[in-house]
Amino acid sequence: MVKIKVQNSNVTYTDNSLSTIYNYKNSLVEIDSNGDYNVTPTFHDYQFNVDLTPPKTGLLLVGLGGNNGSTLVSAIEANKQAISFNTKEGEIKPNYYGSVTQSSTIKIGVDSEGKDFYVPFNSILPFVNPNDLIIGGWDINKDDLSKAAIKAKVLDFDLQSKLSKTLKKYKPLKSIYYPDFIAANQNERANNVLNVTKSGDVDLNSKLANLEQIRSDIKNFKISNGLDKVIILWTANTERYSEIIPGVNDTASNLLEAVKKNHSEVSPSTIFAIASILEGVPFINGSPQNTFVPGVVELSEKHDSFIGGDDFKSGQTKLKSVLAQFLVDAGIKPISIASYNHLGNNDGFNLSSQEQFKSKEISKSSVVDDIINSNRILYKEGEKIDHTIVIKYLKAVGDSKIAMDEYYSELMLGGHNRITISNICEDSLLATPLIIDLVIMTEFLSRVQYKELGGNNQQRSLYPILGYLSYWLKAPLTRVGFETINGLNKQRLGLENFLKILVGLPITDELRFEERLN
């Protein structure tokens, strides 16, 4: 049920839908032969329609038995059952801290005294309640989630004990295992795989069969649980990058043919993405590998099926996207960023392999690219920040990731500034709320349609690459003609403003004329 109704003649409500007309304003900038900027304001009228009825939604996790999967299910079950637990600090009640959709607020205006007025993020429009999500998934390890939670060592013992009976009911489906794509040290975990022969050998000539099995799993999960929608999210091991090869994974048709031919550059995550698209199910990639090769993106466009990625943006990188933006916006020039991490969970174990680390390095380093491009006073064309990233596996620290960063910047007249930050975080307890937000927002965005007014334009869904998910992702997907941004504050502002225009609220500004023009 909608909790906020805006008195706006451009907004129309029915019992289960919302229609809004919005005049989108922007400016087209061109540089003439004198180097002057010629600016032409542009205006476009759009009509947005929102289905206000949250559907019964299922979530299938690839990597259900990992740290993130077991923590997510535990968090949802603890909240659903209102399970409190004891730690050395005392009793803890379940909550969704760290989740934007569940624990943050949005300013919607001012009160009669001119004070800012905030409401819960999830009161603007109807979202799926995470407690209502039906969860399943795949994992290359067969342990139920009670055993997985014990191995993960993320949850306090008392909570593990209280959830044990419930978590035992969650058992992962067999997943896909192509050893070349993840670290060799993951071999011992792989006892629950689809592509294995009777002799126990891995069958690498079964990619089409794997694809069909995943599609069947999706259909069965939806039917058996009576679901309206399903969303799939990859939270499994980081894979190595797939080589982009013309004639193999550069187009949708070539990629499907490559699956049939068992080409070595078709990764497990790409198989899952293809299966999701063919079933009309949104797919979110929470790891840094290039799951979305050009053929996958084209396939999503052809089937008008949502995709989002890449790589969860939880701790160090999220802070980097804020701090780098702050420095550049202040006219200070970062010339080097050194980032060091060590962690002891299975993600760190997998990343101790160079090929898998390379995927993570690319996603973590790209977060400052558009920030550099925003200031041509500080950075000339092609100039980059000297950016280095180190990740080390240290078993003793478990899920507590230690991150240290140094930002070295140039000031006026040859001066320099050095900012050093140490950040210790519980990795899975930062990543799990991101999964919740990605799923909640993906489902909501699938209920939005729009058309440009004038002419015979038809209602259509949003573009398949869900750019509004970029707030939660290190390396948001881009495509020619579709650019996303990395600055965290800009991402949040865009997300807030989109929700506001859907309900007829003015977009965010801080002119505060109420105070300054009296």
Task: Determine if residue 465 is left, alpha or beta; phi over 0 gives left, psi from -120 to 50 gives alpha, anything else beta.
Answer: beta
Q: Are residues 30 and 71 in the same domain?
A: no
Domain presence at residue 287: yes
Residue that is last in its domain, among 309, 336, 362: 309
Q: Are residues 45 and 79 in the same domain?
A: no
CATH number of the CATH domain containing 394: 3.30.360.10
CATH number of the CATH domain containing 42: 3.30.2360.10
Measured in residues, the chain has a length of 518
List the catalytic residue out of 217, 311, 370, 427: 311
Tell me whether residue 474 is one of the annotated catalytic residues.
yes
CATH number of the CATH domain containing 148: 3.40.50.720
List the catalytic residue out of 171, 313, 474, 500: 474
pLDDT values of the chain reduced to their tens digit, one per residue, 518 residues: 446 878 889 999 988 999 999 999 999 999 999 999 999 999 999 999 999 999 999 999 999 999 999 999 999 999 999 999 999 999 999 999 999 999 999 999 988 888 899 999 999 999 999 999 999 999 999 999 999 999 999 999 999 999 999 999 999 999 999 999 987 788 888 899 998 877 777 888 899 999 999 999 999 999 999 999 999 999 998 898 999 999 999 999 999 999 999 999 999 999 999 999 999 999 999 998 999 999 999 999 999 999 998 888 887 788 888 888 899 999 999 999 998 888 877 776 666 666 665 655 565 667 788 788 889 899 998 898 998 888 888 888 887 888 889 999 999 999 999 999 988 888 889 999 999 999 999 999 999 999 999 877 899 999 999 999 999 998 888 877 777 777 888 899 999 999 999 999 999 888 877 666 65
Q: Are residues 390 and 460 in the same domain?
A: no
Render 269-338 in DSSP notation, one character per residue.
Answer: HHHHHHHHHHTT--EEE-SSS--S-HHHHHHHHHHT--EEES-B--SHHHHHHHHHHHHHHTT-EEEEEE
Tell me whether residue 360 is one of the annotated catalytic residues.
yes
Query: Where would I find the H helices in 366-422?
Result: 369-373
Tell me whether residue 401 is one of the annotated catalytic residues.
yes
Distance (Å, whole) CA 503 – CA 11: 7
For 95-98, the CB contacts below 8 A with 24+ separation are 96/130, 96/433, 96/436, 97/433, 98/429, 98/430, 98/432, 98/433, 98/434
List the catalytic residue out of 143, 401, 405, 500: 401
Q: Are residues 373 and 244 in the same domain?
A: no
Domain presence at residue 2: no
Tell me whether residue 115 is one of the annotated catalytic residues.
no
What is the pTM assigned to this prediction? 0.91
Q: Are residues 440 and 419 in the same domain?
A: no
Domain limits at 380?
316-427
Please give the tally of structural domains in the chain.
Answer: 3
Domain presence at residue 180: yes
Q: Are residues 120 and 268 in the same domain?
A: yes
List the catalytic residue out of 174, 222, 320, 360: 360
